[in-house]
């Protein structure tokens, strides 16, 4: 009964339009007051949640994303990839997915990937006569790779909450990320040959032109490989990787490319600061809310109920999937992790579910939330960039939603896709 009351109280605040971080803080504080606990310790709990070396990577990745966006780097990469695959039918769609995957390895943010690649790819695809819903859906879904392919801000937050190794979480995302890229590419080719794209692609450029464009895009690829390769090789931690990526990005856009002025840099810093402040507000509020849940023993009650009533890991995953699909309709991904994960963590051991595997599964569900209405953030980013009708974007993402649900089923039945790389060493 207490669990239902807490959930209804939180939902009431969220539906009233109160920001997630404030709603979590208010609900947690109210629960503490009902237990007669002095609220003098609430500010301490709130601020203590920021004292994390792992979370230091979040603002750095956000700043890197904003700098790349302001510098217009996406066009160099997109043009280079397009020269290699543009000659096939649907080549621009293929180039879009590949470009999203590469930028995902730098930014850690799906929204940033959607904005960066969308501004370049949408005009190209529409000008060439691609089916508009196909264009919008490809960009919205391709951008979700930003939170699965490492580095990933949701995986950083998950690692902090679940007390797992961030490096292990990053490495676990590589296999599913590549599989999802492959599945998206197959769909793009099939859809293109069934009327989604013009019958002929662009004629391939001469080798010299292709080489020139590839060299121009090489710094972006080098930054991505350095960040991921450094983590995999144990040269630096994920937080250090974010700092290395930011340093390389600054050298590239300010010294080599010279495509970012002081005004653009200032706007990138301000934008990253505002987004970081919003995320930290949610994290701090979730910490207060989580302490209150522990005081009411709600996670343990739910864990005991699951242990008593749910007999298999498959049924547990099925129920959690339904829960996350519903929550994803109106909650942002980080909020989903911070609200749901502390409640579910005690149940993972009961059902024999690996926390690293569960983190990748959780992020896949967050990806779905990014492209499902009414608050799928990527839908609105693409709608804004393309100046399109929201219904077009929604129609375009439906096949990708099916593909992503298939990926959830695949990693359940073949967990080595997730676990092989982080534990192979």
Return d(Cα 302, Cα 241) in angstroms, integer. 37
What does the pLDDT look like over 27-86, one tens digit per residue?
A: 888 888 887 777 777 787 777 777 777 788 888 988 988 898 888 888 888 888 888 887
pLDDT at 203: 52
pLDDT at 205: 58
Please state the separation of Cα 314 from the chain's center in Å.
Answer: 25
What does the pLDDT look like over 273-330, one tens digit per residue?
A: 888 888 888 888 888 887 887 777 776 777 677 767 887 888 999 988 988 888 777 7
Residue partners of 288: CB distance under 8 A and separation at least 6: 24, 25, 28, 29, 32, 42, 45, 46
What does the pLDDT look like over 182-216, one tens digit per residue?
A: 999 999 999 998 888 887 655 555 677 778 888 88
| 102 confidence band (pLDDT: 50, 70, 90) | confident
Residue partners of 407: CB distance under 8 A and separation at least 6: 176, 179, 180, 183, 364
How far does the chain reach from its first CA to its final CA, in angstroms?
46
Query: How many CB atoms neighbour CB 206 within 10 A?
Result: 10
Return d(Cα 301, Cα 346) in angstroms, integer. 10
Q: What is the pTM assigned to this prediction?
A: 0.85
pLDDT at 311: 76
Closest CA to 311 of 270, 351, 278: 351
What does the pLDDT look like over 375-393, one tens digit per residue?
A: 677 887 888 877 778 888 8
């Amino acid at each position: 009964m207490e669990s239902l009351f807490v959930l209804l109280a939180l939902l009431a605040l969220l539906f009233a339009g109160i920001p997630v971080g404030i709603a979590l803080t208010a609900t947690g504080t109210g629960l503490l007051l009902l237990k007669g606990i002095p609220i003098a310790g609430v500010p301490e709990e709130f601020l203590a949640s920021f004292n994390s070396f792992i979370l230091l990577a979040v603002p750095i990745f956000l700043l890197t994303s904003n700098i790349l966006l302001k510098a217009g780097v996406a066009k160099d990469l997109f043009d280079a990839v397009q020269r290699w695959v543009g000659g096939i039918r649907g080549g621009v769609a293929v180039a879009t997915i590949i470009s999203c995957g590469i930028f995902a390895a730098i930014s850690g943010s799906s929204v940033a990937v959607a904005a960066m690649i969308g501004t370049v790819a949408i005009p190209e695809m529409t000008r060439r006569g691609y089916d508009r819903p196909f264009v919008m859906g490809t960009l919205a879904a391709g951008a979700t790779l930003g939170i699965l392919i490492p580095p990933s801000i949701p995986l950083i937050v998950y690692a902090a909450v679940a007390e797992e190794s961030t490096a292990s979480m990053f490495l676990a995302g590589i296999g599913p990320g590549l599989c999802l890229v492959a599945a998206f590419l197959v769909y793009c080719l099939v859809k293109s040959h069934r009327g989604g794209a013009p019958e002929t692609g662009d004629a391939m450029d001469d080798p010299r032109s292709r080489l020139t464009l590839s060299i121009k895009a090489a710094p972006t690829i080098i930054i991505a490989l350095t960040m991921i390769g450094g983590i995999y090789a144990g040269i630096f931690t994920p937080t250090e990787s974010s700092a290395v990526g930011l340093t390389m990005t600054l050298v590239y856009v300010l010294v080599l490319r010279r495509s970012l002025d002081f005004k653009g840099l200032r706007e990138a810093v301000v934008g990253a600061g505002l987004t970081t402040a919003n995320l930290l507000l949610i994290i701090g509020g979730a910490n207060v809310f989580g302490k209150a849940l522990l005081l009411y023993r709600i996670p343990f009650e739910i864990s005991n109920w699951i242990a008593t009533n749910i007999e298999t890991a498959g049924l547990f995953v099925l129920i959690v999937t339904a829960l996350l699909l519903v929550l994803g309709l109106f909650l942002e991904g980080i909020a989903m992790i911070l609200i749901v994960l502390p409640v579910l963590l005690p149940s993972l051991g009961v059902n024999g579910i690996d926390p690293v595997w569960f983190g990748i599964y959780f992020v896949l569900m967050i990806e779905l939330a990014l492209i499902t209405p009414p608050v799928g953030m990527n839908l609105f980013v693409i709608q804004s960039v393309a100046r399109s009708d929201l219904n077009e974007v929604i129609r375009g993402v439906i096949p990708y939603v099916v593909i992503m649900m298939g990926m959830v089923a695949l990693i359940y039945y073949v967990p080595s896709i997730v676990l092989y790389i982080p534990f192979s060493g």
